[in-house]
Amino acid sequence: MASRPFIAARIEDRLNALLSRALRRRGWQEKILPFTGYGTGEQLRILARVVLRPSADLGIVQAASALLYRRGWRNFINAAQVGAQVNVVIGETRIPVHADRSGYVDVRVRNPGLPPGWHSVLLEGSAGSSALASVQVIDDAEEFGIVSDIDDTILSTWLPRPMVAAWNSFVVKEQARQAVPGMARLYQRLLSEHPGAPIIFISTGAWNTYPMIQRFTARHGIPQGAMLLTDWGPTNTGWFRSGQDHKRRCLRELARDLPNVRWLLVGDDGQHDPELYAEFATLQPEHVRARAIRQLTPGEHTLAHGLPMEVPGQEERWEPDTAPEVRAPDGDALGDKLAQLL
């Protein structure tokens, strides 16, 4: 007998359905939020979300948006359009797909012939909405790629402490966010040495922050790449999603989707990146070229763990035979150490 979803998920689904009907009666309209995807000569991974937003003629909402345009709380003012139908249009090919219980579209479709490089894929909703999603098609012969964490790896947010995280996410203006020194230069140099190589950002941050992160990376010269974020809230099995499991799953999917790529895994020592990357390098050494860990300052460690030092990881210590690891406090120092390895 099929098991029922966790009670929190059922409650959330019911509330989403009620909210959707109420907002539609008030004039809210369907909108497709495209995310950056990736693919190969065989398949494309299309990422997006279908939400309900106030119609353009709601003057009060427009005034409020103009007043607080860059405030982080705006990223969370969306209502999921559950189960919405979306057509993926690539040339003459139309592929119907459906959003999940939270309005997300995460599907793999057959590549009808897009060559390696960047492309725009048209997404059409059933209610007349449309959007263009960027997709990077990676050459099947490509053997190098970068996986990068976001928080405290490229973006200094001091996120581990809950109150500071809430302040940074909901109140602070985007212009106040600071980039980790040297990371943009490191990524630019590595990708210039490997033209066509992908950079994939994996984070436990919410998909709601995607537009802010995309603007942040563009503003600070960080190369464009697909982002694999997560959806905060209940799942079919529990109250909250596991950030570590999300990253594990993303790494496994990249190894499956891009089997010829050996990844440079870049993260920080504030949470679980060193252990997760070592675990992946031990279990799938053929997919890891090296590991680069940004060392947090004592102040950042204090916010993350209450101690100005790295907290020991899990009891099982992963020690990969390959994939050497380097550590440094910023991108420039990491680049100097990686130059000897790559």
C-alpha–C-alpha distance, residues 41 and 18, integer Å? 42
Domain boundaries, the chain: 7-137, 144-338
The residue among 331, 241, 258 whose CA lies nearest residue 294 is 331
C-alpha–C-alpha distance, residues 338 and 326, integer Å? 7
Q: Identify whether the C-beta of residue 225 lies closer than 8 Å to the C-beta of residue 254.
A: no
Point out the least confidently predicted range of 10-24, 174-188, 200-214: 10-24
Taking 70 as the threshold, does the pLDDT of residue 340 lie above it? yes
Taking 90 as the threshold, does the pLDDT of residue 136 lie above it? yes
Q: How confident is the model at residue 219, as a pLDDT? A: 93
Q: Identify whether the C-beta of residue 82 lies closer than 8 Å to the C-beta of residue 26.
A: no
Task: Give 284-328 pLDDT, tens digit per residue.
Answer: 999 999 999 999 987 776 665 555 555 555 556 788 888 999 999
Point out the least confidently predicted range of 38-42, 58-62, 127-131, 279-283: 58-62
Please provide the CATH number assigned to the domain covering 144-338: 3.40.50.1000
Task: Give 70-104 pLDDT, tens digit per residue.
Answer: 444 444 556 778 778 999 999 999 999 999 888 89
pTM of the model: 0.83
Taking 50 as the threshold, does the pLDDT of residue 184 lie above it? yes
Q: How confident is the model at residue 318, as a pLDDT? A: 83
CATH 1.20.120 fits 7-137, yes or no: no
For residues 2 and 47, the model is more confident at: 47
